């Protein structure tokens, strides 16, 4: 039973100094500090339940997103949760169409990341209060701009079909979990020794799918890809991620040099906005047996729609915080199902694994009903800061059992990492003479 009026919204700038160890580094983000704009919603329901929402950012970018969350706060404050979820589509559109903020979006950039943080908190709160049926889920989706490829009725049919065999798939998930791959061994800033050590440990832990960062220096890539392929052997799966480093012809040329290492996909080969560029790359890489994956920086459902329409990707990477929360992610999962393109979510960052596990397990149970060519990213960082961290067993995500969106962070972690006043940052800034 949905209850409570939103009587408080707070947002924190939480940063982790991951750049110090080269964690998370790639060809374009050489010194990322994994960060989050962390939103807490309170209600007057008197049940003690709060909604926690995050969006993933890097370092100083968090300041901008925190401002955007505050600029959106008035849409949520004093609203009855029942009214919000009773017309969630309308509420989503209210946030994304705010007449004074829309100009710095629309549905993209900092303001869309902020929308995700706020709506993720709403979903967390709502999920703690009640379950949802297909019609309710559909009522949360804004179909504006995508009805040329997916109507509400088609989406309903997909969800109805997804009911068949649902029980068995739930049991399968509870027993075996959702298959994952690891990105933790091969960040670009890691030395070869670190890569070898982490890869040895990952193999011992049963990982069979690995992602390596590429794109800055070809000879370096060849050496690192050889190293990792030799270590994992010919049968295990290898993916590559260039994080938007190349122009279109460069991407094709570079990947033809890395093809000998048999990557399943090249991720973000070029600008995330270049839909036709991705299509050109996809086509050129077919003879090499390499697919194109993208999505972690796709602004919204419209970009995904076009990527699907022009066959620009073979693996679709939703992101729980880049898109407008569960609402928009649902529309993308449904479009992917219609086009029969496997969804392999982006995760890692701060809390992305915690959030996206809900989406991808839902996708398997209620939408795609398939694990073919599907896996979810896993990065072994920062889970200790969450109250309900992901559980990985035998390289698979085990379904979360606690109600909610697994978004709540430990109070102590938030305090210590709040920027710039948390203990961690006070010490680091003092050491840097700031
Ligand atoms: C800056 C991030 O760490 C980015 O490299 C993550 C990413 O591309 C991925 O996990 O995929
Ligand atoms: Mg990536």
Q: Which chain residues have CB less than 5 Å from ligand 2, an ion? A: 241, 267
Q: Which residues of the chain have pLDDT under 70?
A: none
Distance CA 135, CA 118 (A): 23
Q: How many CA atoms lie within 13 A of 278 on its CB side?
A: 33
Distance CA 188, CA 29 (A): 9
Please tell me the residue having the least CA distance from ligand 1 atom 9: 346
Distance from the alpha carbon of residue 220 to the mean position of ligand 1, in angstroms: 19
93-125 CB burial, b ≥16 within 10 A, e <16: eebbebeebeeebebbebbbbbbbbbbbbbbbb
* Closest atom of ligand 1 relative to the 347 alpha carbon: 10
How high is the pLDDT of residue 434?
Answer: 80
Q: For the chain, report the end-to-end CA distance as a whole number of angstroms.
A: 50
Distance CA 434, CA 429 (A): 5
Domains of the chain: 5-146 (3.30.390.10), 164-409 (3.20.20.120)
- What SS3 string covers the chain? CCCCEEEEEEEEEEECCHHHHCCCCCCCCCCCCEEEEEEEEEECCCCCCEEEEEEEEECCHHHHHHHHHHHHHHHHCCCEHHHHHHCHHHHHHHHHCCCCCHHHCCCCHHHHHHHHHHHHHHHHHHHHHCCCCHHHHHCCCCCCCCCCCCCHHHHHHHHHHCCCCHHHHHHHHHHHCEEEEEEEEECCCCCHHHHHHHHHHHHHCCCCEEEEECCCCHHHHHHHHHHHHHHHCCCCEEEEECCCCCCHHHHHHHHHHHHHHCEEEEECCCCCCCHHHHHHHHHHHHHHCCEEEECCCCCCHHHHHHHHHCCCCCEECCCCCCCCHHHHHHHHHHHHHHHCCCECCCCCCCCHHHHHHHHHHHHHHHHHCCCCCCCEEECCCCHHHECCCCEEECCEEECCCCCCCCCCECHHHHHHHECCCCHHHHHHHHHCCC
Which residue in the block uniquely carries the two structure tokens 């209060």? Answer: 129
ipTM over 0.90: yes
Distance CA 148, CA 132 (A): 26
* Closest atom of ligand 1 relative to the 317 alpha carbon: 11
Distance from the alpha carbon of residue 26 to the mean position of ligand 1, in angstroms: 7
Distance from the alpha carbon of residue 360 to the mean position of ligand 2, in angstroms: 17
**Active-site option among 346, 358, 381, 417:** 346
Environment class of residue 28 by beta-carbon count within 10 Å: exposed (0-12), middle (13-18) or buried (19+)? middle
* Closest atom of ligand 1 relative to the 213 alpha carbon: 5
Ligand sitting nearest the alpha carbon of 267? 2
How high is the pLDDT of residue 1?
Answer: 87
Q: Which two tokens stand for residue 77?
A: 């404050």
* Helices 325-339 and 301-309: angle between axes, nearest 10 degrees: 10
Q: Which two tokens stand for residue 175?
A: 């027993």
Ligand sitting nearest the alpha carbon of 188? 1
Distance from the alpha carbon of residue 296 to the mean position of ligand 2, in angstroms: 6
> Catalytic: 213?
yes
Nearest-Å Rg of the Cα atoms of the chain is 21
Please tell me the residue having the least CA distance from ligand 1 atom 4: 24
Ligand sitting nearest the alpha carbon of 25? 1
Using one digit for the tens of pLDDT, what is the confidence trace for 33-61?
Answer: 999 999 999 999 999 999 999 999 999 99
How high is the pLDDT of residue 218?
Answer: 98
Distance from the alpha carbon of residue 30 to the mean position of ligand 1, in angstroms: 11
**Active-site option among 29, 75, 112, 213:** 213
Return the best residue to mutate from 16, 181, 183 for the ligand 1 pocket (most ligand atoms within 8 A of CB): 183
* Closest atom of ligand 1 relative to the 268 alpha carbon: 8
Return the best residue to mutate from 26, 60, 270 for the ligand 1 pocket (most ligand atoms within 8 A of CB): 26
Please tell me the residue having the least CA distance from ligand 1 atom 3: 24
If one counts every other C-beta atom within 10 angstroms of the C-beta of residue 20, the result is 10
Please tell me the residue having the least CA distance from ligand 1 atom 2: 24
Distance CA 336, CA 369 (A): 12
How high is the pLDDT of residue 308?
Answer: 98
Residues in the ligand 1 pocket, defined by CB under 6 Å: 24, 26, 29, 32, 183, 241, 243, 296, 346, 348, 377
Using one digit for the tens of pLDDT, what is the confidence trace for 58-114?
Answer: 999 999 999 999 999 999 999 999 999 999 999 999 999 999 999 999 999 999 999
Distance from the alpha carbon of residue 433 to the mean position of ligand 2, in angstroms: 33
Distance from the alpha carbon of residue 145 to the mean position of ligand 1, in angstroms: 28
Environment class of residue 204 by beta-carbon count within 10 Å: exposed (0-12), middle (13-18) or buried (19+)? exposed
């Amino acid at each position: 039973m949905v209850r409570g009026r939103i009587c408080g919204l707070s947002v924190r700038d939480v940063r982790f100094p991951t750049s110090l160890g080269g964690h998370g580094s790639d060809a374009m983000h050489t010194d990322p500090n994994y960060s989050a704009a962390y939103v807490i919603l309170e209600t007057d329901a008197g049940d003690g339940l709060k909604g926690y929402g995050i969006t993933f950012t890097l370092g100083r970018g968090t300041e901008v997103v925190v401002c955007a969350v505050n600029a959106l706060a008035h849409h949520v404050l004093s609203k009855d949760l029942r009214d919000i979820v009773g017309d969630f589509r309308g509420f989503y559109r209210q946030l994304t169409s705010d007449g004074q903020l829309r100009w710095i979006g629309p549905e993209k950039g900092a303001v869309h990341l902020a929308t995700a943080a706020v709506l993720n908190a709403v979903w967390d709160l709502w999920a703690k209060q009640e379950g949802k049926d297909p019609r309710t889920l559909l009522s949360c989706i804004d179909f504006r701009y995508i009805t040329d490829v997916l109507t509400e009725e088609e989406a309903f049919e997909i969800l109805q079909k997804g009911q068949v065999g649902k029980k068995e798939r739930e049991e399968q998930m509870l027993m075996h979990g959702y298959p994952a791959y690891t990105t933790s061994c091969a960040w670009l800033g890691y030395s070869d020794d670190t890569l070898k050590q982490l890869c040895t440990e990952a193999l011992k832990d049963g990982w069979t799918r690995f992602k390596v960062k590429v794109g800055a220096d070809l000879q370096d890539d060849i050496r690192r890809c050889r190293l990792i392929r030799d270590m994992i052997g010919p049968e295990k799966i290898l993916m590559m991620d260039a994080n938007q480093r190349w122009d279109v012809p460069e991407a094709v040329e570079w990947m033809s040099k890395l093809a000998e290492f048999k990557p399943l996909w090249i991720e973000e080969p070029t600008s995330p906005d270049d839909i036709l560029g991705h299509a050109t790359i996809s086509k050129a890489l077919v003879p090499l047996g390499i697919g194109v994956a993208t999505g972690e920086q796709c602004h919204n459902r419209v970009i995904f729609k076009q990527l699907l329409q022009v066959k620009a990707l073979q693996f679709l990477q939703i992101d729980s915080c880049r898109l407008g929360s569960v609402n928009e992610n649902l529309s993308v999962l449904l479009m992917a199902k219609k086009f029969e393109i496997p969804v392999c979510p982006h995760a890692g960052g701060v809390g992305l694994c915690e959030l996206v596990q809900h989406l991808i397990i839902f996708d398997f149970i209620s939408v795609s009903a398939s694990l073919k060519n599907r896996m979810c990213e896993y990065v072994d960082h920062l889970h200790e800061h969450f109250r309900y961290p992901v559980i990985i067993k035998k390289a698979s995500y085990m379904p979360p059992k606690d109600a909610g969106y697994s978004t709540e962070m430990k109070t102590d972690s938030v305090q210590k990492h709040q920027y710039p006043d948390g203990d961690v940052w006070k010490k680091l800034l003092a050491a840097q003479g700031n």
